Amino acid sequence: MDTAFDETVGLLRTSQTVAIGTETVYGLFGRADDPDAVARIFEAKGRPAFNPLIAHVSGLDMAERVGHFGRIERELIEAFWPGPFTLVTERLENGLASDLACAGLDTVAIRHAAAPFLSSVIRELEAPLAGPSANRSGHVSATNADAVQTDLDGLIPLIIDTGPCDEGIESTIVRVIEERVLILRPGSITADMIENAVGCPVFYPDAEDASIIAPGQMTSHYAPNSDVILNATSSEPGEIYLAFGATKKTVKGTAYSLSPSGDLREAAANLYSLLRKADSQNPVHILVAPIPDIGLGAAINDRLRRAAAPQR
Ligand code: TXA
Ligand code: MG
């Protein structure tokens, strides 16, 4: 095995953390069954300890040492693992996810990512890895190794550069409740895909309950330092405009396109790196073009609304 692999495994065996790319975003990983490692993750990110982490596994066998799975959960796993898909399920007592990783909840979020380096590390350790997105808490997620470095330089011992992330937006998170699938966080596995795979209704948390069911889905999140304004169709010099499709003549400031051809997959893959690129220039505002709210567009708009929400 190569040096990067050995170094990663060595660090994780001694309660350290390592940032590694997945197909969604980069994660900051530590052993889910090791409270010291998990504490280091919270500390490096500046993340509040009430916000639980996802346990990343190498397959269903390992997942069954972390949580309980019913029929619908197994069908979802069959359809969407490995991939950008996370299941919140009842946590196994004395399972492989520590109390700290789960913020003391009796549920646990579990994901098998389609990420070859990460998966081989998990297989080698024979233990799940707790992993939030590898960014400063509340900030824009990182979709390449440079972005991880910008946010967490000096705070973590190792970043494995697995290249830019293909998907660019965090995994879909669901929980099965009474034969229905609750979407806690939209992602590239869409509501339609879920409905087609398991044939049961899909629903969203109502606004009042959302904070209780998904502790980390704060209103302000994924946020750049500059103010973000959505559904913009024009801009002024000093502002930066993120277009979807071709850039209009009404755009006077610097402009970048999330997808010149108006493709939602490409826009998702470019979203965080362009938000970071715009933000690094300290513009008066970052303006974003309207994004169609269909399919993957729902996940993009979810992240954009949070990026634009007033920061506390
Ligand atoms: O694509 C992804 O999911 C990335 C990669 C690294 O896997 N991870 C990621 O982790 O986005 P994080 O921590 O940034 O977001 C996980 C979300 C948080 O909002 C957290 O509150 C929620 O999952 N979560 C974790 N455990 C939960 C639970 N038991 N119940 C409800 N929500 C949970
Ligand atoms: Mg995150």
Q: Does the beta carbon of 253 lie inside 6 Å of ligand 1?
A: no
Question: Rounded distance, CA 272 to CA 304, Å?
Answer: 10
Atom 3 of ligand 1: nearest residue by CA position: 171
pLDDT digits (tens, 9 = 90+) for 17-52: 999 999 999 999 999 999 999 999 999 999 998 899
Question: Rounded distance, CA 137 to CA 222, Å?
Answer: 9
pLDDT in the model for residue 120:
98
Q: Does the beta carbon of 216 lie inside 6 Å of ligand 1?
A: yes
- Tell which residue, 110, 118, 25, has the closest CA to residue 74: 110
Are the beta carbons of 257 and 200 closer than 8 angstroms?
Answer: no
Asked if residue 1 has pLDDT above 60, the reply is: no
How does 62-96 read in b/e, with b if 16+ C-beta sit within 10 Å? bbebbbebeebbebbbeebbbbbbbbbbbbeeebb
Q: Does the beta carbon of 131 lie inside 6 Å of ligand 1?
A: yes
Question: Rounded distance, CA 110 to CA 86, Å?
Answer: 5
pLDDT digits (tens, 9 = 90+) for 132-191: 999 999 999 999 999 999 999 999 999 999 999 999 999 999 999 999 999 999 999 999
Q: Output the CA 269–ligand 2 centroid distance in Å.
A: 16
Q: Where are the alpha helices (DSSP H) in 126-263?
A: 145-152, 191-198, 210-213
pLDDT in the model for residue 226:
94
Are the beta carbons of 110 and 131 closer than 8 angstroms?
Answer: no
Q: Does the beta carbon of 217 lie inside 6 Å of ligand 1?
A: yes
The count of C-alpha atoms lying within 13 angstroms of the C-alpha of 106, restricted to the half-sphere facing its C-beta, is 1
Report the mean per-residue pLDDT for the chain.
94
Q: Does the beta carbon of 133 lie inside 6 Å of ligand 1?
A: yes
- Cis previous bond, 35, omega within 30: no
The set of residues, in sequence order, having a beta carbon less than 8 Å from that of 128 and lying 6+ positions away, is 31, 32, 33, 55, 56, 57, 62, 65, 66, 96, 97, 110, 122
Beta bridge partners of 262: none
Q: Output the CA 132–ligand 2 centroid distance in Å.
A: 6
Ligand nearest to the backbone CA of 54? 1
- Tell which residue, 52, 16, 51, 43, has the closest CA to residue 31: 16
Provide the token pair at 246. 């071709």
What pTM was estimated for this model as a whole? 0.94
Are the beta carbons of 305 and 230 closer than 8 angstroms?
Answer: yes
pLDDT digits (tens, 9 = 90+) for 88-140: 999 999 999 999 999 999 999 999 999 999 999 999 999 999 999 999 999 99
Asked if residue 85 has pLDDT above 90, the reply is: yes
Strands (E), the chain: 18-21, 26-31, 54-56, 85-90, 107-111, 129-130, 159-160, 172-177, 180-185, 202-203, 227-229, 240-243, 254-257, 285-288
Residue 264 binned pLDDT confidence (cut-offs 50, 70, 90): very high
pLDDT in the model for residue 246:
85
Which of left, alpha, beta for 103 (phi over 0: left; psi -120 to 50: alpha)?
left
- Tell which residue, 293, 298, 51, has the closest CA to residue 172: 298
One-letter amino acid of 75: E
- How many Cβ atoms are within 10 Å of 139's Cβ, its own excluded? 23
